[in-house]
Amino acid sequence: MLHIAEKNGKTDIISWLPGGNGFKVHSKGKVIAKDVDFEKVARRTPGYTGADLQNLMNESAILAARRDLKEISKEEIADALERIQAGPEKKGAVISFEKKKLVAYHEAGHALVGALMPEYDPVAKISIIPRGAAGGLTFFTPSEERLESGLYSRSYLENQMAVALGGRVAEEIIFGKERVTTGASGDFQQVSRVARGMITNYGFSDKLGQVAMSSQGGDPFLGQSAGQGADYSAETAAVIDGEVKELVEKAYGRAMDLCTTHIDVLHKTAEALIEKESLDGEEFARFFEESDAQLYLQ
């Protein structure tokens, strides 16, 4: 599953202090380890209110206490953040090696495609630890500029679709089309929303031009117009469906090309996930050191 760093389906900033200043305020009275970089944590918490930040630091402190630690390290903050964003770990869950391998390649596919896309958010963490309804998660860190503006370029949305499809593409390459799973269903829903929003709301259609095809309100990119009726003809609907399909097929092809071309990095990432269950962005970036891939760290 692909995790996009948004809060409650919204991309606007509620309360976000650059440079991690919000965390410095809400970590008073707590012993923080030297390895904690509040700027990095701040980039993973877009849209968090002061109460959200305080809750995160309190959760981190509880984890540190349970682990008999005298200070809060980056591991406690990362674990607390994932618990808040994706739910608690499914401790004690029996997972077969084959399923673990499949999830590892799925998440590695998301991360690989994202890392190789220009103008896309860098990878913050990859995990195959089951949380909530997700078997695994890939966290991306949105740029400060994009967070502040709330604007998305056409190329960014096209990249996002390719990243979302990277998981299914990796499954197909490694296990074959006959053995792919339903694990990418959430990714497909996201891709469909983005593609349809590009055509019907954002004027990114080559055939329909710069028009909004729905007057119902909401934002398909954020999943807010599901179930609302169309206000255009069947002929126009067919054109929209065709353009949406073209966008999705293009994104799929880009993801397939990157995963195939850099399959060595895909293997290294998946193997490391199987062994360690999680990787941070820096660990993941090291797999590109011996590759000729152009990694967009931003």
Q: What is the pLDDT of residues 264-281, one digit of tens each?
A: 999 999 999 999 999 988
Confidence band (pLDDT; 50, 70, 90) for 76? confident
Report, as residue numbers or ranges, the catalytic residues: 107
Residue 113 clears pLDDT 80, i.e. is over it: yes
pTM listed for this prediction = 0.74
Residue 38 clears pLDDT 90, i.e. is over it: no
- Mean per-residue pLDDT for 62-73? 89
**CATH tag, 7-86:** 1.10.8.60
- Vertex 156: Cα angle to 4 and 12 (nearest 5): 55
Confidence band (pLDDT; 50, 70, 90) for 116? very high
Which of the four CATH numbers 1.10.1270.20, 2.40.110.10, 1.20.58.760, 1.10.8.870 does domain 97-286 have?
A: 1.20.58.760
Q: Would you kindly state where each structural domain of the chain is located, as residue ranges? A: 7-86, 97-286
Of the two residues 188 and 19, the one the predictor is more confident about is 188
Copy the structure tokens of residue 94: 């029996």
Q: 221: which DSSP letter?
A: G
Contact 264, 291 (CB under 8 A): yes
Mean pLDDT, the chain, whole residue set: 79
CB-based contacts of 251: which residues, under 8 Å, 6+ apart?
Answer: 158, 161, 162, 164, 165, 191, 195
